[in-house]
Structure 1
Amino acid sequence: MARRIGDPVAVALGAGAGETAGVLGEHGAVKVLTSDASEFAEYLVVPKVDALQAAVEAVSPAAVLVVSSAEGKEIAARLALRIGSGIITDATDLEAGEEGPV
């Protein structure tokens, strides 16, 4: 889905993030940002939001896609507030429009 609007960049967090990077590349990510910091092992969303915010600032993506789970929705909501963006949950499709992703 991400490939429809640009070159996909993935973020892998937690133990084994380095090994996960290769798998994400095999699935289409052109770049993978990783961090294996110990705080990602806990059910704490703030460190994950911090990491995603840093990733957004580093690559300026057209959109940020997050897994549709309770944790993913909380992370997406907090990230949207921090970066001044909107949020769409439970999206099932994505395409490039004239003014950006729709």
Structure 2
Amino acid sequence: MECQVQVVAQGMWALADLVDASRRLVVEADGHEVHATRRGFRKDVRRYTEMVVFGWTVLRFTWEDVMLQPDFVRWALRSWVRAQDGERVPAPPPVLARLR
């Protein structure tokens, strides 16, 4: 994984938090302050959609996920890789605060 990588395709440019180019995986850690405006929210949603259209998988986590629930983040990343490799995905780890 590389940090702060440019993802470029026909007419699309994005700066992604983490990228595994060999797996075409983008990992984003989003803080609330970035999406505090309607324009910022719209811009990021469109950017994520464009990356998916051009064949990238985008896994998004909140700042709270990364800082307070690292077991969940590790499980999600490892499970995505396992699923891509045709392996069984384990159940998610128990977490203190599940959002439903």
Classify the TM-score, shorter chain. Answer: 0.3 to 0.5
Q: Bigger radius of gyration, 1 or 2?
A: 2
Output the TM-score relative to the length of structure 1: 0.32
Output the TM-score relative to the length of structure 2: 0.32
Q: Which has the higher helix share?
A: 1
